[in-house]
Amino acid sequence: MGENAISGNLKNLKIDTGRSETLVVCFGEMLIDFVPTVGGVSLAEAPAFKKAPGGAPANVAVGVSRLGGSSAFVGKVGDDEFGRMLADILRLNNVDNSGMRFDHKARTALAFVTLRGDGEREFLFFRHPSADMRLLESELDKNLIQKAKIFHYGSIGLIEEPCRSTQLAAMKIAKASGSLLSYDPNLRLPLWPSEEAARKEIMSIWNLADVIKISEEEITFLTGGDDPYDDEVVLRKLFHPNLKLLVVSEGPNGCRYYTQEFKGRVGGVKVKAVDTTGAGDAFVSGLLNSLASDLTLLTDEKKLREALLFANACGAITATERGAIPAMPTMDAVQDLLSSSRS
């Protein structure tokens, strides 16, 4: 099936515009992860691999929808079996995929990923180039982006042209439409030509975001080795004057938050973790779903702490199952976990 035919079919999947008041639009990569069928082995030792949908922005879009929110995904995949499979997965998860485009010349990105016996994650990417890197500004669904209450993105789109210029253009459209800009750098060093290039590009759009979520490891990387637990380091080097919220995720230990007016910490929700893949994306989707419904969270510390506890619970539930998209929690599941952890 050709690009025009597919795009035409997908155009019919527009969300009800009445829900666009809380719409979260996620921009970036969607790919196929190949994960070993057994745990604790290197990629070379793996006897076989199982495919799973991946890509942080797509995970967040599904996470928002799973919680009952309104979400859309903007990005490019190959005009191939995997690309059509990914478009279908979004549709089946009630994510508006009308902003997806299909490339005839480049394939859908593939990533082989494993958690080795020593606890280190090992990645092998096939993007030479992949379709997501070739999204053009002319292919953006501007109307969809303009409807976003929140426009969410990462840094992987900044690695190469033309996607870099396209991402900057999409951010500009969203900002001009009054969208809240949400940024999760989601550092994947093996994809970048060098550490210096990664640091420079990730920071090049830092001051444009209203909300930023980063990990402890990313603080260390972006500050050139500073202590990620030092509030002064975070506030001096990473907080900018236009930022409304900076969240530092600490995995099972919860998160820290910084705004213009207040800062603090919200503890994690205890679970038995099986696979942390997608837990950070589930955390982001929980936070953005709450924000899309009530932007006053950004200035009300009590409400913000409740939203961050909710986000922590979203991440915790996702860590109890394998895979990212299959493990994204429903609103009922999150409420049940929070109720049981209080009792």
pLDDT at 11: 39
Q: Which domains does the chain have, with CATH numbers?
A: 24-29+55-77+98-104+137-337 (3.40.1190.20)
pLDDT at 7: 43
pLDDT at 39: 84
The pair of structure tokens assigned to 234 is 């975070």
pLDDT at 119: 65
Successive 10-residue mean pLDDT values, the chain, 343 residues: 44 43 97 90 94 95 98 98 98 98 98 82 90 98 98 98 98 98 96 97 98 97 95 96 97 96 97 89 98 97 98 96 90 96 79
Catalytic residues: 281
Query: Do residues 95 and 72 make contact, with C-beta atoms less than 8 angstroms apart?
Result: yes
pLDDT at 97: 98
Radius of gyration of the chain (CA): 19
- C-alpha 171/C-alpha 177 separation (Å) is 10
pLDDT at 20: 65
- C-alpha 310/C-alpha 290 separation (Å) is 9
3-class DSSP state for residue 233?
A: helix
Question: How many other CB atoms are found less than 10 A from the CB of residue 170?
Answer: 26
pLDDT at 18: 38
Q: Kindly write down the DSSP assignment for every residue of 16-52, as one continuous string.
A: PGGGGGGEEEEES--EEEEEESSSB--TTT-S-EEEE
Query: Do residues 55 and 28 make contact, with C-beta atoms less than 8 angstroms apart?
Result: yes
